[in-house]
Structure 1
Amino acid sequence: MPEIVLVAASEDAEFMITRGVPGEPLAARIAAGRPVTELFRDALRLLQAVPVEGCPFDSRIAARLREAEYLIAHGLCADDCDFDQWPGFAEPRDLLAHLDANRPDEDLVFTHGDLCDNNVFVDDRDNLYFIDLGRGGLADRWSDIAFILRNLRDDVSEDAADNFLKAIGTADNREKRTFFEQLDELF
């Protein structure tokens, strides 16, 4: 992870400035047609290996739903919500109510919170570096898996997403994957 150079706060915001990380984002490898499935597997393995005992960063479902409620109440919810993929939701509040009523059981690990091809960098020796961990912390393991699967399906192929699941040794948990994809629509 990048070295923190400066942390500052004002009444309106908090800021953290870090040094740059070496390498290129996985997005550049995808754009070049280079394989990334194993790199995503390694990134997930590294993050989930971080000990969570006493972790002060709470990204569990309850915390994320409270954050989404705040964003919606203050008109700060993402303005590009895509409800076409989930019929029955007309506005963010509908989706939030659905998520609140359908919380899955959580299998807690350390997560990135936005584990996608723009937030994982790789150098020429395949060493991995992470940026943008603002939502990192204790959360369900499927929160990161859902991001990776969506990223692979959207930017590589269904086969790449299936191969990723095989590489991590798990079957698709559609319920959890959908839950975390829907939750992300609000951010």
Structure 2
Amino acid sequence: MNQPNKIKEIIGGIPYSIDTIGMSNAKVICFEDMVLKIEKQQEESDNEHIMMSWISDKLPVPRVLCFEKHNGINYLLMSRIKGKMSCSSELLENPMHLVKLLADGLKMLWGVDISKCPFNNSIDNKLRQAEFRVRNNLCDMEDAEPTTYGAEGFESPEKLLQWLKENKPDEELVFSHGDYCLPNIIIKDDKINGFIDLGRSGIADKYQDIALCYRSLQHNYDGKYGGKVYEGFDASILFEELNIVPDWNKIKYFILLDELF
């Protein structure tokens, strides 16, 4: 592996494996007690180590061991959170319990004081980032939900961005993970042991995380990622566990917004 010298000094010749579960464009190298995340320098990857350091005394997250930039690439070496991803088959087999754990995680996030949070990821800032991605042809239409584009949806990412700008909902700001999907929530000893992949974290609307959690539950149970299909699962049990009446307009909005990332 070719990394900056400071990273090499720490990892040496320690055995490793390559993570293949995550959906991001980063290369993730896993050691027994460390993880090295390698990705192109951009706002999201620049933000991650800052947010992890800020939130480290408030939530269970990886500890930043070293962060280096080299030739437009970010290298983030962090401690490894022990436990199972919440998309593990063992957890998926018990949906009521899994959803309770995910709801507990959301409540943990929302309990964080955002008054000094270093990153604002509210809708206007997300739309600014989305516009950059659209203009630079960085949006993957092939990976979108079936109804987002085409005859039943939008003509293009440009049209979707325009709709998002014209239909911004009111916001209830909280601390948000930003990508609250099952692989990013780690469970150990029957409780949440950590949150990972925090590049999109910061101040945002509550439904940023609710919407993506709902979508992630749907797809992990319907076999979209190649796993077992669980017949009869209803992701709306998440709302019962959170004791909320779902705002379907916001759920739709934040899922569509995520299509541009």
| TM-score, normalised by the number of residues in structure 2 | 0.67
For 2:10, the equivalent position in structure 1 comes to: none
User: How far 1:30 moved relative to its partner?
Assistant: 6.0
1:164 matched residue in structure 2: 238
Separation (CA, whole Å) in 1 of partners of 2:195 and 2:72: 26
Are the structure 2 counterparts of residues 29 and 169 from structure 1 closer, same or farther at C-alpha, using a change threshold of 3 Å? Answer: same
Distance 1:125 1:33, change over 3 A: closer
Equivalent residue runs for 1:85-104 within 5 Å: 85-86=147-148, 87-104=152-169
Aligned equivalent of 1:107, options 172, 175, 189:
172
Matched, 1:179 2:239: no
Structure 1 residue 69 and structure 2 residue 134: aligned?
A: no
Q: How many residues align?
A: 187
Tell me the distance in 2 between the aligned counterparts of 1:21 and 1:169.
29
Hey, what does 1:20 align to over in structure 2? 80
**What is the deviation of 1:26?**
0.2
Unaligned runs of 5+ in 1: none
CA change 1:30–1:85 in 2 (3 A) is farther
Superposed CA RMSD in Å reads 1.9
Structure 1 contact 116–151 (Cα < 8 Å) conserved: yes
Which residue of the partner structure matches residue 7 of structure 1? Answer: 67
Query: Which of the numbers 200, 204, 225 marks the counterpart of 1:135?
Result: 200
Structure 2 residue identity aligned to 1:89 = F
Task: Name the CA shift for 1:164/1:100 in 2 (closer, same or farther; >3 Å).
Answer: same
Per-residue deviation at 1:50? 0.8
**Larger RCO of the pair (alpha carbons < 8 Å, separation 6+):** 1
Contact 1:30 1:155 in 2 (8 A): no
- TM-superposed CA distance for 1:18, in Å, is 1.2
Considering only CA atoms, is the larger Rg found in Structure 1 or Structure 2? 2
CA apart distance, 1:27: 0.6
AA in 1 matched with 2:174: V
Could you tell which deviates more after superposition, 48-57 or 23-32? 23-32
Q: Distance in 1 between matches of 2:233 and 2:141?
A: 31
Shift of 1:82: 2.6
Worse-matched range after superposition: 170-179 or 146-155: 146-155
Percent identity between the two aligned chains = 32
More moved, 56-65 vs 7-16: 7-16
1:28-75 deviation digits (Å, cap 9, x = unpaired): 046751331011011101111111012111110011111011111122
Q: Conserved in 1, the CA contact under 8 Å of 2:87 and 2:183?
A: yes
Q: Are 1:153 and 2:218 counterparts?
A: yes
- 1:17 deviation in Å? 2.0
Using a 3 Å threshold, how does the CA distance of structure 1 residues 152 and 6 change in structure 2: closer, same or farther? same
Greater Cα offset, 158-167 or 66-75: 158-167
| Range 176-185 or range 66-75, more displaced | 66-75
**Greater mean alpha carbon deviation, residues 76-85 or residues 116-125:** 76-85
Counterpart pick for 2:104 among 30, 42, 46: 42
TM-score by length of 1: 0.91
C-alpha distance in 2, partners of 1:128/1:45? 14
Matches of 1:120 and 1:160, distance apart in 2: 20
Q: Which has the higher helix share?
A: 1
